[in-house]
Structures are given as structure tokens and as C-alpha cells.
Chains A and B, each alone.
Chain A
Amino acid sequence: DADVTQTPRNRITKTGKRIMLECSQTKGHDRMYWYRQDPGLGLRLIYYSFDVKDINKGEISDGYSVSRQAQAKFSLSLESAIPNQTALYFCATSEGTDPTYNEQFFGPGTRLTVL
């Protein structure tokens, strides 16, 4: 079984709709992250959470919100989707116990298209 799962894997929606992307992990990691990936722009950090009570904005948080429901679950919401939010979205986790080592484990990604 995959350690980091994302649902849905693919989603097509219309402008203005509210969308939630979900991420679950069985790795027992405290740290969770949401990234989006666009061609030529690499991975950009949207939000991250170091524990259930900790939520931080990344470099491109506008238009997004998150919820850390439990250690194992981190959801990303688009309150009113717009076409330039069309992208591949990745959730990731890391252990975070070693301040000098922070390997990220990624989910399989969610491909979101906003029409």
C-alpha cells in the first residue's frame, strides 16, 4: 500500500467551483506539505504544516486554504477555482526529527483542470 495517498487523482471542474484535494499518510510523519507543479516552473510550495496545530503559508498560498484534520490528513481547498489553478498538485510528508535532514515523500499527485 502507498504510504502517501491523494484523492482524487484527476479532477476537471469549472471556474468558481469549490474543490477539495485530500492527502493521507501512513508514515507517521509530523510534517506535511502541498505543492503545485506547472511546466517549466518546478514545484512551488503552497502550504505546509509541522504538526496538527501548525499551518504555514508557502510561496503561493493566495486562492488556497488548508486543513490539518489529524496527523495523517492534510487537505487543500480551492474556494473558488480559476483556470490558472490548473496544475499537478502534490502532497508530501517528512519526518522532521533531524533539523539537517528533511527528505520529502510525495503522493502520486492530483491532476486538476479548471475550465
Chain B
Amino acid sequence: RKEVEQDPGPFNVPEGATVAFNCTYSNSASQSFFWYRQDCRKEPKLLMSVYSSGNEDGRFTAQLNRASQYISLLIRDSKLSDSATYLCADEGSASKIIFGSGTRLSIRP
């Protein structure tokens, strides 16, 4: 089993919709989790970090479920500019980050 798993998508949703992705992790000792956004052929950039039960930043909400070992990302009122690949990451052990393979999101007008 991969340490961090994501549904690759693509998710194709209309502008204004709410969309959610899940990411499962295998290391029960992990403390820190992240969501990164990656535009085509660009470097990943941090979108949100996820601690304790979760946090919210504008239209974006990240949640952590330790019992089931997954994190989620919810995007409300999606914009065309939200189209990207979303990578989840688990800090895991030894302070090195393990990334999922990414979920592709495409927002259509």
C-alpha cells in the first residue's frame, strides 16, 4: 500500500460548484499534513497546512480524520482559476514529506 494515496481524477465540475477530494495516509504516527496546488508544468505551491481536526481559508477547508487516516480538501464556489492538480502530503517520520500522486481538477464555465 502506498503511504499516501489520492484519487487521480480528473474531477470536472462547473464553475460555482463545491468539490471535495480525499487523501488517505498509512503512517498512523504522522502529525502534519499539507495540501499543495500545482499548475501545469509549474512547481507545487503550498495551499494549506492541516493540523488537529482541520482549518479553513476562505473558500478552502481542509479536514483531518485521524481515526480513518485521511485528510480532505473542500473547495466551495469553485472558480475557473481553481483548475489545477492538488497534491496532498504527509510529513510522516524523519521530517521528510511524502506526496500523493495528485488529483486533477478542471473547472468548466
Residues of A within 8 A of B (CB): 31, 33, 35, 40-45, 48, 50, 56, 58-59, 88, 90, 96, 99-104, 106-109
Chain B contributes a number of interface residues (CB within 8 A of A) equal to 26
Q: Once the chains are docked, how many angstroms separate the CA of A42 from the CA of B3? A: 12
Q: Once the chains are docked, how many angstroms separate the CA of A84 from the CA of B92? A: 28
Which residue in B32, B45, B98, B101 is a CB contact (below 8 Å) of A101?
A: B32
What residues of chain B lie closer than 8 Å to A96, measured between beta carbons?
95
Interface of B is mostly: loop
Q: Check A42 against B34 for contact (C-beta < 8 Å).
A: no
Q: Once the chains are docked, how many angstroms separate the CA of A36 from the CA of B51? A: 27
Q: Check B87 against A43 for contact (C-beta < 8 Å).
A: yes
Tell me the B1-59 residues at the A interface (CB within 8 Å): 6, 8, 31-32, 34, 36, 41-46, 49, 51
Q: Check B46 against A103 for contact (C-beta < 8 Å).
A: yes
Residues of B within 8 A of A (CB): 6, 8, 31-32, 34, 36, 41-46, 49, 51, 87, 89, 91, 94-102
Q: Check A100 against B43 for contact (C-beta < 8 Å).
A: no
Closest 10 pairs (CB-CB, A-B) = A42-B101, A106-B43, A43-B99, A42-B99, A103-B46, A42-B102, A102-B91, A100-B32, A106-B44, A48-B96
